[in-house]
């Protein structure tokens, strides 16, 4: 007997599918159901390390919302862009090399058995599976060999609910237009629609909901208002990065240059959400603020190319001046590699084989190798003894004299590097700022003892998920959604 399941697809990217799935997962988990998230194919450089490999950060958040252990099967195909035309491909958690966009279009069909196998694993023991699509089924030029939207839905026989975003405008056209371009078989998979990110009086769009239903024959399942609290949850796409301005009254300024292939940028979230901290995300064309208390160089999916971009922007000059003023720099993963003397790529993993100079702020050298480290870790901060739950996702190894002053210990081994004066720190540990005790101690030290952090980060994520669940439950016809999921069979769920 098939496990009840429903798939949320969108009229485009960034319509809010990921957070709606997370909200539904938490809603049904609170009702006592064993609910699991699934996304066949994701494209994101924001990843999470789980047992067996890596998945998209959004699926890890959805698993957390479902109160389930995240697994590689929840996101069996992950594409991590390395350039405008190519990406690293992760299959069931493991690196499967690099694919050009044109090659992937032709090779997707071969990935369907992995996708269906993972979906079957996720369904095992679940009362309900909530599936998220990718992009839009309206991209009918990509339908042949599709594994992310209608290709998966028809193959796995999962009914679809289509999500439109009213905030960007044209939501009636996007929903009705999607109905118009889908072929008959794909159109028949869609059972209902949602309109997301509404602002104002819902009565003003009642006629709009009716118009969509009349023109498509799809059941209206809800008009979801804009939820400001959703911004407290980790973002999936670099386009979602917020916090480029300063908040009035903030006393501690953190600056982070936005690199073209920025990765695992949710590392910055605990700093962004900390009361009294302004996170300034520095876009191309602007200098790093000279009054920043801390510069964070985030992770990168293309370290050498992003280092060249950093230099083209003149940010290297800003960073060196920042250190000369006696202020701190933290490099995370790819940012850590940039801080060293050299980065060698003997195998041409990121492009042309060779060696490039780093920023020279840490006495280390990095060699990029084909072996990828992906693991959750429990670390200890050497300076305070505070525990840090983190994860590593990186290619290459970094070695040199400054590693002897490693800021962390993992399983008794040194991790990371620190300059002799303690102003520059590099580490491969993602997620370290989520550890409240460490973050409070670090910010206190970086501010000379004048700043006191107060955020309980993990608790704030749980509270945001609970509010999201309540929001979705209040504004969506949940009973109708469950009835749609039940079409696949399985025992009755309520």
| Alpha carbon distance, N-terminus to C-terminus of the chain | 18
Asked if 179 is an active-site residue, the reply is: no
Instruction: Say whether 233 sits in a helix, a strand or coil.
Output: coil
| Angle subtended at Cα 300 by Cα 338 and Cα 287, rounded to the nearest 5 degrees | 70
Evaluated on CA atoms 240, 396, 51, 115, the torsion sign reads: positive
- In this structure, are residues 244 and 283 in contact, taking their beta carbons and an 8 Å threshold? yes
Relative to beta strand 5-10, strand 160-165 is parallel
- In this structure, are residues 292 and 390 in contact, taking their beta carbons and an 8 Å threshold? no
Confidence of residue 489 (pLDDT cuts 50, 70, 90): confident
Out of 73, 322, 381, 430, the active site residue is 430
Q: What is the DSSP letter of 202?
A: G
| Angle subtended at Cα 302 by Cα 300 and Cα 307, rounded to the nearest 5 degrees | 80
Q: Which two tokens stand for residue 441?
A: 């101690």
For the stretch 143-184, pLDDT in tens is 999 999 999 999 999 999 999 999 999 999 999 999 999 999
Where b means 16+ CB within 10 Å and e means fewer, 398-423 reads: beeebbebbbbbbeeeebbbbbeeeb
For the stretch 255-288, pLDDT in tens is 999 999 999 999 999 999 999 999 999 999 999 9
Q: Which two tokens stand for residue 117?
A: 């196998």
What backbone phi and psi angles, to 5 degrees, belong to 436?
Answer: -60, -50
pTM (2 d.p.) = 0.92
**Average pLDDT for 55-70:** 97
As a whole number, the mean pLDDT across the chain is: 93
Q: What is the pLDDT of residue 340?
A: 98
Q: What is the pLDDT of residue 50?
A: 94
Q: What is the pLDDT of residue 141?
A: 92
* 43-47, 52-56, 378-382: segment of lowest average pLDDT: 43-47
| Angle subtended at Cα 226 by Cα 61 and Cα 465, rounded to the nearest 5 degrees | 25
Out of 333, 381, 394, 471, the active site residue is 333
For the stretch 368-414, pLDDT in tens is 998 889 999 999 999 999 999 999 999 999 999 999 999 999 999 99
For the stretch 329-360, pLDDT in tens is 999 999 999 999 999 999 998 889 999 999 99
Asked if 96 is an active-site residue, the reply is: no
Between CA 470 and CA 475 the distance in angstroms is 9
């Amino acid at each position: 007997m098939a496990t009840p399941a429903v798939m949320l697809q969108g009229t485009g990217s960034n319509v809010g599918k990921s957070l709606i799935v997370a909200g539904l997962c938490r809603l049904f988990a609170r009702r006592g159901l064993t609910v699991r998230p699934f996304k066949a194919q994701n494209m994101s450089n924001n990843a999470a390390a789980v047992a067996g490999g890596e998945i998209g950060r959004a699926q890890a958040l959805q698993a957390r919302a479902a109160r389930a252990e995240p697994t590689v099967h929840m996101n069996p195909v992950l594409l991590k862009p390395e350039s405008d035309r190519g990406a690293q491909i992760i299959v069931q958690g493991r690196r499967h090399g690099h694919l050009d966009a044109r090659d992937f279009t032709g090779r997707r069909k071969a990935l369907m058995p992995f996708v269906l196998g993972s979906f079957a694993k996720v369904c095992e023991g679940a009362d309900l599976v909530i599936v998220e699509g990718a992009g839009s089924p309206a991209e009918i030029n990509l339908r042949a060999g599709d594994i992310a939207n209608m290709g998966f839905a028809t193959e796995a026989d999962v009914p679809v609910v289509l999500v439109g975003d009213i905030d960007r405008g044209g939501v009636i056209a996007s929903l009705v237009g999607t109905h118009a371009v889908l072929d008959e078989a794909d159109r028949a998979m869609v059972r209902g629609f949602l309109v997301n990110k509404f602002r104002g009086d819902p009565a003003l769009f009642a006629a709009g909901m009716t118009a969509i239903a009349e023109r498509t024959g799809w059941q209206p399942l809800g008009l979801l208002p804009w939820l400001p609290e959703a911004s407290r949850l980790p973002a999936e796409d670099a386009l979602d990065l917020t916090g480029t301005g300063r908040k009035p009254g903030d006393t501690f300024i953190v600056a982070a240059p936005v690199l073209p292939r920025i990765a695992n940028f949710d590392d910055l979230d605990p700093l962004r959400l900390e009361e009294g901290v302004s996170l300034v995300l520095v876009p191309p064309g602007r200098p790093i603020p000279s009054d920043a208390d801390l510069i964070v160089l985030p992770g990168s999916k293309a370290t050498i190319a992003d280092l060249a971009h950093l230099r083209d922007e003149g940010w290297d000059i800003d960073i060196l001046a920042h250190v000369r003023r006696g202020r701190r720099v933290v490099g995370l993963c790819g940012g850590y590699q940039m801080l060293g003397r050299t980065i060698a790529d003997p195998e041409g993993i990121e492009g042309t084989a060779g060696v490039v100079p780093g920023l020279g702020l840490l006495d280390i050298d990095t060699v990029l190798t084909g072996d990828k480290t992906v693991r959750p870790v429990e670390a200890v901060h050497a300076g305070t003894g505070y525990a840090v739950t983190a994860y590593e996702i990186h290619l290459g190894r970094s070695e040199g004299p400054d590693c002897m002053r490693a800021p962390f210990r993992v399983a008794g081994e040194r991790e990371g590097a620190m300059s002799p004066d303690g102003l520059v720190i590099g580490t491969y540990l993602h997620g370290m700022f989520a550890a409240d005790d460490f973050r409070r101690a670090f910010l206190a030290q970086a501010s000379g003892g004048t700043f006191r952090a107060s955020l309980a980060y993990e608790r704030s994520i749980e509270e945001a998920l609970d509010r999201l669940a309540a929001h979705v439950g209040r504004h969506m016809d949940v009973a109708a959604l469950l009835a749609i999921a039940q079409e696949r069979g399985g025992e009755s769920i309520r």
